Structure 1
């Protein structure tokens, strides 16, 4: 593994693929190369007919801390992580950032996210790209984009409404508060709360891999078809709103205040 590697991919002999975020020194935070590495991993596995199921996990202290704060600090002229036009559909229904999470829904085989430590902001949206999620009881989660003066823009607004009540989505999104996996399970964000989510995810993946691959792939297609068409307008809408916010004075002030550990001063 070299210093620039963000994601490792291992395919076991039983057809179970392990996709692991390995940017440990940055809590697996999302930067431009991480988005690209996630997409590349998904595309590699989509083309591999030997793969029967996928486990998506993170090394180190947690699953994924969300957007790299340096990415926000480096924003210039409304561009972020090397992308200027968020509205352009570069990957089917999605832009580059959305596809890093959405590609797992488009994979022809089931994907299980194993969450420990934290899944914050974009990290939570990434986990929601999986078919289901196992998490440790103390895993912390947050729809935290409001804390950076932004909105969820990795398909989160679509997935939140797939899984949660309207009032719960609003309370969590407007406040950006942190909650743990037991609470998240009650909201529908987490499938099972267990002490060792990676071990359970691997066991479940192996069970799935033992089933007829044609039947499993057919079920993934059927279930995916129920949501893809309805998702398209929502995926586009969140990018339109994000494009309006990026680089605005209040959004920049939000990030600056956070880095300087002070209360933000906004202009009406």
Structure 2
């Protein structure tokens, strides 16, 4: 399938995965306006594929080109020429990108090598989970510039690591390495190098691809909804998700295969 051609992105299908590489290594893949617009266009293409999990790929991997950086942050040179209205539009555009990533019916993995600072950390946190190389580093350094997170960091960092740790990292602008990010729950796995990082992300997509497509899409949607609810409301949302899954053809096939002790061939419906 043709996912489009982009000035700042490399997009290629790797078996069950769609690999999206932010390809601006000279600027350490900073989120310049052109990059944001390409990400917005690509996520629009993906959103238009629908939400029935009948996708040409079973996962999306986002990474950055070069050895130094996943995404070094927003483009501060460009931001320095913006007035408040333009800055707000810039931030809102990235909000649309990150919300689209969260709404996709397949998992999105951030494969982080090198810097994931400011907007880079925020883009990574909009993915379902983060894998990092040993040389990766994370942070929200906006206060050092008299700014605050503008692409979702104030929301998603506390969801990932808790409000106390999020406050400390945002107030100080501190940068942390991948080992510390793993300890506090910001990243899921730390791999030795970029090659191992990509291999691990592809292997996870392949593992997920063996599961029922509708179930994965359904539970991703449910987890996103439940994240902002109390226990009682969360259980109600889970119950709705369970019934929705139970009614799918994938569930019929999966349960029958379990009883028959055979491997299920999920139809994706």
Instruction: Give the TM interval when normalised to the shorter protein.
Output: 0.7 to 0.9
Asked whether 1:53 is paired with 2:54, we answer no
Q: What's 2:114 paired with?
A: 117
Choose 1 or 2 for highest CA Rg. 2
Are 1:190 and 2:187 matched, yes or no? yes
Contact 2:139 2:175 in 1 (8 A): yes
The structure whose RCO (Cα within 8 Å, separation 6+) is larger is 1
Q: 1:74 aligns with which of 52, 62, 81?
A: 81
TM-score w.r.t. the length of structure 1 is 0.75
- What count of residue pairs does the alignment treat as equivalent? 216
Runs (5+) with no aligned partner, structure 2: 1-5, 50-54, 231-269
* Residue number in structure 2 paired with 1:37: 38
Q: Which residue of 2 aligns with 1:242?
A: none
Q: Is the 8 A contact 1:101 1:127 kept in 2?
A: no
Asked if the contact 2:47–2:100 (Cα under 8 Å) also holds between the matched residues in 1, the reply is no
Superimposed CA distance per residue, residues 117-166 of structure 1 (whole angstroms, 9 cap, x where no aligned partner): 11000100000010000001221111111112111121111111211132
Partner residue in 2 for 1:8? 10
1:168 equivalent in structure 2: 165
1:81–1:25 Cα change, 3 Å: farther
The answer to whether the Cα contact below 8 Å between 1:142 and 1:179 also exists between their aligned partners in 2 is: yes
Identify the range of structure 1 (152-161 vs 46-55) with the bigger mean alpha-carbon deviation.
46-55
> Which residue of 2 is the match for residue 220 of structure 1?
220
Equivalent pair of 2:158/2:165 in contact (CA under 8 Å): no
Q: CA RMSD, aligned part only? A: 2.0
Specify the SS of the correspondent of 1:29. coil
Q: How does 1:214-253 map to 2 (within 5 A)?
A: 214-227=214-227
- Which residue does 1:144 correspond to in 2? 141
Q: CA deviation at 1:47?
A: 3.2
Equivalent residues of 1:32, 1:81 under 8 A apart:
no
The structure-2 alpha-carbon separation of the partners of 1:203 and 1:44, relative to structure 1 and needing over 3 Å to count, comes to same
Q: 1:229 to 1:10 in 2, by over 3 A?
A: farther
1: distance between equivalents of 2:228 and 2:12? 28
| TM-score, structure 2 normalization | 0.75
Q: CA deviation at 1:81?
A: 5.8
